[in-house]
Amino acid sequence: MTTVTLKEEDYSSVTAEEVAQIAARLELDDYSTPFEGLQDWHLLRAIAFHRQELVEPYFYLLDIEAYDES
Protein backbone atom coordinates (compact mmCIF):
# COMPACT_ATOMS: atom_id res chain seq x y z
CA MET A 1 0.00 0.00 0.00
CA THR A 2 1.29 3.44 -0.92
CA THR A 3 1.02 6.14 1.71
CA VAL A 4 0.37 9.72 0.66
CA THR A 5 1.82 12.57 2.67
CA LEU A 6 1.21 16.23 2.01
CA LYS A 7 2.99 19.41 2.94
CA GLU A 8 0.90 22.43 3.86
CA GLU A 9 1.28 24.01 0.43
CA ASP A 10 0.06 20.79 -1.23
CA TYR A 11 -3.45 21.01 0.22
CA SER A 12 -4.49 23.57 -2.38
CA SER A 13 -3.80 21.05 -5.15
CA VAL A 14 -5.78 18.14 -3.64
CA THR A 15 -8.58 17.06 -5.96
CA ALA A 16 -12.00 15.64 -5.20
CA GLU A 17 -10.94 12.40 -6.88
CA GLU A 18 -7.98 12.01 -4.52
CA VAL A 19 -10.22 12.60 -1.51
CA ALA A 20 -12.69 10.05 -2.87
CA GLN A 21 -9.88 7.48 -3.17
CA ILE A 22 -8.80 8.05 0.43
CA ALA A 23 -12.42 7.76 1.59
CA ALA A 24 -12.94 4.57 -0.42
CA ARG A 25 -9.89 2.98 1.21
CA LEU A 26 -11.20 3.96 4.64
CA GLU A 27 -14.64 2.52 3.86
CA LEU A 28 -13.15 -0.77 2.71
CA ASP A 29 -10.89 -0.91 5.76
CA ASP A 30 -8.65 -3.44 4.02
CA TYR A 31 -5.23 -2.40 5.28
CA SER A 32 -2.19 -4.57 5.95
CA THR A 33 -1.69 -2.89 9.31
CA PRO A 34 -3.87 -0.69 11.51
CA PHE A 35 -1.34 2.09 11.05
CA GLU A 36 -2.05 2.38 7.32
CA GLY A 37 -5.70 3.06 8.07
CA LEU A 38 -4.74 5.57 10.72
CA GLN A 39 -2.50 7.38 8.23
CA ASP A 40 -5.38 7.69 5.76
CA TRP A 41 -7.67 8.89 8.55
CA HIS A 42 -5.16 11.56 9.59
CA LEU A 43 -4.69 12.59 5.96
CA LEU A 44 -8.43 12.96 5.42
CA ARG A 45 -8.71 14.93 8.66
CA ALA A 46 -5.88 17.27 7.62
CA ILE A 47 -7.52 17.84 4.25
CA ALA A 48 -10.77 18.63 6.09
CA PHE A 49 -9.03 21.44 7.97
CA HIS A 50 -7.60 22.95 4.79
CA ARG A 51 -10.26 22.10 2.18
CA GLN A 52 -13.46 21.34 4.06
CA GLU A 53 -15.62 21.45 0.94
CA LEU A 54 -13.82 18.39 -0.47
CA VAL A 55 -14.33 16.30 2.65
CA GLU A 56 -17.94 17.22 3.49
CA PRO A 57 -19.40 14.06 1.88
CA TYR A 58 -17.05 11.94 4.01
CA PHE A 59 -17.37 13.60 7.45
CA TYR A 60 -18.97 10.42 8.78
CA LEU A 61 -15.60 8.70 8.33
CA LEU A 62 -13.89 11.23 10.57
CA ASP A 63 -16.33 10.89 13.47
CA ILE A 64 -15.80 14.52 14.46
CA GLU A 65 -18.31 15.76 16.99
CA ALA A 66 -18.94 19.33 17.98
CA TYR A 67 -18.28 20.04 21.62
CA ASP A 68 -18.34 23.01 23.95
CA GLU A 69 -15.13 23.69 25.83
CA SER A 70 -16.71 26.05 28.35
Q: Is the pLDDT of residue 28 over 60?
A: yes
Q: Letter for the amino acid at 38?
A: L
8 or 63, which is more confident: 63
Do 11 and 48 touch, CB atoms closer than 8 A? no
Q: Is the pLDDT of residue 43 over 80?
A: yes
Q: Is the pLDDT of residue 69 over 90?
A: no
Q: Tell me, what's the pLDDT at 7? A: 67
42 or 69, which is more confident: 42
5 or 33, which is more confident: 33
pTM: 0.77
CA–CA dist 37, 31 (Å, integer): 6
CA–CA dist 34, 41 (Å, integer): 11
